[in-house]
Amino acid sequence: MTTLEFSGVSKRYRVRGAGDMLALDDVSFELSSGRTIALVGQSGSGKSTIAKILTQLERPTSGRILLDGRPIPRRGGGLRRYRQQVRMVFQDPFASLNPYHTIRHHVERPLRLDRIVPAGQVDAETRRLLERVRLDVDRVIDRRPHELSGGQRQRVAIARALASRPSLLVADEPVSMLDVSIRLGVLNLLADLQRESNLGVLYITHDLATARHFSDEIMVLHHGEVVERGVADEVILRPQHPYTRALRDASPDPDAHFAASVTTGSRS
């Protein structure tokens, strides 16, 4: 089991001409393999900042991040191993894939760089990964990202994230740029993979209905502070913090909305 601990993390961005901006204020939580935590909050609340710190794209101003009790190495093999363990799926599957490279290249690259399988098995492993995300391998493997639909591209991004056999996955609004009709298919896929591989998932979203359905726990972020957290159903049904109540009341009835999308939802 792998546990990532975010402990008392604050992040201040320096904004030219405007002084400092406190994006995260003393945030603490733990993400363990086998668990899904939904991180919800309005635009600008600091969700992506948490994702960027977890994936080491940004450094915290203060606080610590520990993987199984150890600080993340700043460089070298240790940092590389951390990056194999904690992978990210981004919001925009077009921007995150290189238009000049084939799907094969995208999935093979981490396999080769991190030497996940011997060179002779890279092709078979690439195909296995594309199958795992339910893509028709022969139809997509030699294509480039622009020849695929948004949903297919996001599946490629997920296959690539899984290539290094991570324990934890950070998914920052993974379906918000996809057509509504295919969102549920991608979320169901993520949920299946989470169970099959016992992944720990940080699911970042604006959508309380899917947060409730796809997560064990919900954490509510408001102006960089965690204002509420708890078992998903509890947070939605009995929100304690006024901001959570406002969020819930502002979203269309989570149950009705979700029930409707589940019954008509297609897996694409």
Ligand X SMILES: Nc1ncnc2c1ncn2[C@@H]1O[C@H](COP(=O)(O)OP(=O)(O)OP(=O)(O)O)[C@@H](O)[C@H]1O
Q: Which of 36, 48, 152, 154 binds ligand X (CB under 6 A)?
A: 48
Q: Is 41 in the site for ligand X (CB under 6 A)?
A: yes
Q: How many other CB atoms are found less than 10 A from the CB of residue 206?
A: 16
CB of 195 to ligand X, least distance (A): 27
Nearer CB in complex with ligand X: 46/185: 46
Nearer CB in complex with ligand X: 6/104: 6
Q: Is 205 in the site for ligand X (CB under 6 A)?
A: no
Nearer CB in complex with ligand X: 108/207: 207
Q: Answer left, alpha or beta for residue 165, where phi above 0 means left and psi between -120 and 50 means alpha.
A: left
Nearer CB in complex with ligand X: 92/125: 92
Q: Give the torsion through C-alpha atoms of 14, 19, 25, 29, to 10 deg.
A: -10
Q: Is 21 in the site for ligand X (CB under 6 A)?
A: yes
Q: Is 48 in the site for Mg ion (CB under 5 A)?
A: yes
**How deeply is 93 buried, as exposed, middle or buried, from its count of CB atoms within 10 A (0-12, 13-18, 19+)?**
buried
CB of 15 to ligand X, least distance (A): 5
Q: From CA 35, how far away is CA 27, in angstroms rounded?
A: 19
Q: From CA 67, how far away is CA 226, in angstroms rounded?
A: 21
Q: What's the sign of the alpha-carbon dihedral 65, 69, 75, 79?
A: negative
Q: Which of 49, 167, 215, 268 binds ligand X (CB under 6 A)?
A: 49
Q: Is 60 in the site for ligand X (CB under 6 A)?
A: no
| Residues within the interface to ligand X (CB under 6 A) | 13, 15, 21, 23, 41, 43-49
